Copies of this chain bind each other. A is one copy, B any other.
Amino acid sequence: MEAKKKITFDDIARYTNFSKTTISRYFNNPDSLAPESQRIISEALVKLDYKENKVARILANGQTEFIGIIVPEIYHRFFSEVLNQILSTYETYGYKFLVFIGNRNEESERRYIQELLSYQIEGMIVLSHTLSSEELSRLPLPIVTIEREDRHVCSVNTDNYTGGYQAAALLADRGCDVLIHINSPTDPHIPAYGRITGFQDCCREREVRCEVLYRPVDRSHEGDQTILQEIIDTLEQEHKGEKKGIFLSNDTLASTMMNLLFRKYGRLPDDYLIVGFDNSPASREAIIPISTVGQQVDKLAGEAVRLVVEQIAARKAGKSFRGKKPVHLVIDPVLIRRESTEGTAGSV
């Protein structure tokens, strides 16, 4: 690239016939200008090859407007949807996001965090489970976690307990004789553990027989198929003729279970009722639309960004950005009733 004369606001104003004030407003509050004016200025910037130098500005005022994000992976819909929603808050707060995929490797995550700190990120949002909240709390910047162990840091989580309770209540209301919850072995310090206790408490209050089956699910689709097929075989022996209400820890598992039953019977038998968790596309797009406990992902992500931005502002104002105790925000789950709990689904 040949060296070019540096383009100034004066040059842009002259080129577009707008005032310098208008050009400045374009950079600081673009939506205060008419869309047509925005378009003219934005095209002029490309034509003039204008480069605002934020790096120089950072050195002047120390504000990078970067937030670091560490996600475990974005293969599962829950993580990619949360990431989608976080990135979309740019329009509201103006913060840019540097994203790392942790892949459940402690050492990598520590290096990523050092890398993020070296770019003077102002805050961090962590979805990955790998590092303890105690370790995260020692980092010198505002941190908010989403749906992971959070004893020592601020967090935003779904009210998983209520979600588990709602799922059990729906199945009990539909007259199930026995309720089964299928989940992977879960650490009680993870918010999602509440799904299990909520389910159990509801069954106890309603005096409905119940069982929690801990199985190593969520590792591969083929593995899940094998595990769920074994569960179906056992249920058909042990609960023959009974109306079975099955609550699975996520919608992907619920859809896999539905497909196994459908392949066997050509429909969802009347004595099986199924509820998932998340309200991910897997529930809506299943062969029979699956009832589910919806997580409000837009709110989880939106509140996480709001909270971290609030603490960044406190820190800039010279105040302590950490209160005496970490803040834990809780988002309500939303029970969504669909065909899989009608008890007459899939009849042909």
Q: A120-B53, A287-B263, A315-B1 are in contact. Are A84 and B74 (CB under 8 A)?
A: yes
A320 to chain B, nearest CB (A): 9
Whether A24 is near chain B, meaning CB under 8 Å from some CB there, is no
Residues of B within 8 A of A55 (CB): 55, 58-59, 64, 119-120
| Interface SS majority for chain A | helix
Q: A74-B84, A84-B73, A346-B263 are in contact. Are A100 and B90 (CB under 8 A)?
A: yes
A104 to chain B, nearest CB (A): 13
Stretch at the interface among A37-45, A148-156, A167-175, A205-213: A37-45
Residues of B within 8 A of A73 (CB): 84
Nearest B residue to A221 by beta-carbon distance? B285
Stretch at the interface among A107-115, A186-194, A301-309: A107-115
Whether A14 is near chain B, meaning CB under 8 Å from some CB there, is no
Quick one: CB contact mask for A31-69 with B, threshold 8 Å, 1 for yes? 000010011001101100111111110110000100000
A265 to chain B, nearest CB (A): 8
Residues of B within 8 A of A42 (CB): 107, 110-111, 114
Q: A98-B98, A255-B285 are in contact. Are A56 and B53 (CB under 8 A)?
A: no
Quick one: CB contact mask for A265-299 with B, threshold 8 Å, 1 for yes? 11100000000000001001111100000000000
Please determine whether A119 and B96 come into contact, CB atoms closer than 8 angstroms: yes
Stretch at the interface among A135-143, A226-234, A236-244, A328-336: A135-143
Q: A53-B120, A54-B119, A119-B54 are in contact. Are A97 and B96 (CB under 8 A)?
A: no
Please determine whether A135 and B46 come into contact, CB atoms closer than 8 angstroms: yes
Binding site for B on A (CB under 8 A): 1, 30, 35, 38-39, 42-43, 45-46, 49-56, 58-59, 64, 73-75, 80-81, 83-84, 87-88, 90-91, 96-101, 103, 107-108, 110-112, 114-115, 117-120, 135, 138-140, 221, 252, 255-256, 259, 262-263, 265-267, 281, 284-288, 315, 346, 348
30 A/B residue pairs, CB under 8 Å, sorted by A: A1-B140, A1-B315, A38-B111, A42-B107, A42-B114, A45-B114, A46-B110, A46-B135, A46-B139, A49-B140, A50-B114, A51-B117, A51-B140, A52-B114, A55-B55, A55-B58, A55-B119, A55-B120, A59-B59, A73-B84, A74-B80, A74-B83, A84-B101, A87-B100, A88-B101, A96-B119, A99-B99, A252-B285, A262-B262, A287-B287
